[in-house]
Amino acid sequence: MKSSTLAGRAPRKDDLLIVDVDVHAHETPAALAPYCEMPWRKTLEHLATVPARYLDIPGFAPSIGLWPSFPQSGGDRRNTVTSAAQMRQDLDDLGVDIGVIFPDHLLSHAGLKQTDYAVALARAYNRWLVEEWLTQDNGLKGAIIAPHHDPEAAAAEIRKYAAHPHVVAVYLPTCVVEPLYGHRRYDPTFAAAQAAGLPVMLHSVTLVHPNFPFNLQGYETMFATHLLAHPLALIANLVSMMETGVPERFPDLKICFTEGGIAWVPWIMLRMDKEYAERRREVPILKDRPSRYVRKMYFATQPIEEPEHLGDMATLLTLFGGEDSVLFASDWPHHDFDHPNKVLQIPVADHVRRKIMGENALKLLKLTRPVRLAAE
Q: What is the pLDDT of residue 333?
A: 95
Whether 69 shows a pLDDT value over 80: the answer reads no
Which of the four pLDDT bands, split at 50, 70 and 90, describes residue 295? very high
* Residue 80: C-alpha distances to residues 42, 70, 71, 137, 352 (Å): 25, 18, 16, 22, 31
Whether 18 shows a pLDDT value over 70: the answer reads yes
DSSP 370: P
Residue type, position 155, single letter: A
Q: What is the pLDDT of residue 4?
A: 41
Euclidean distance between CA atoms 190 and 202, whole angstroms: 12
Whether 89 shows a pLDDT value over 90: the answer reads yes
* Homologous superfamily of the 19-67+77-369 domain (CATH): Metal-dependent hydrolases (3.20.20.140)
147-156, 191-200, 203-212: which has the minimum mean pLDDT? 203-212
Selection from 8, 9, 1 nearest residue 339 by Cα = 9
Residue 33 CB-half CA count within 13 A: 13
Which of the four pLDDT bands, split at 50, 70 and 90, describes residue 8? very low
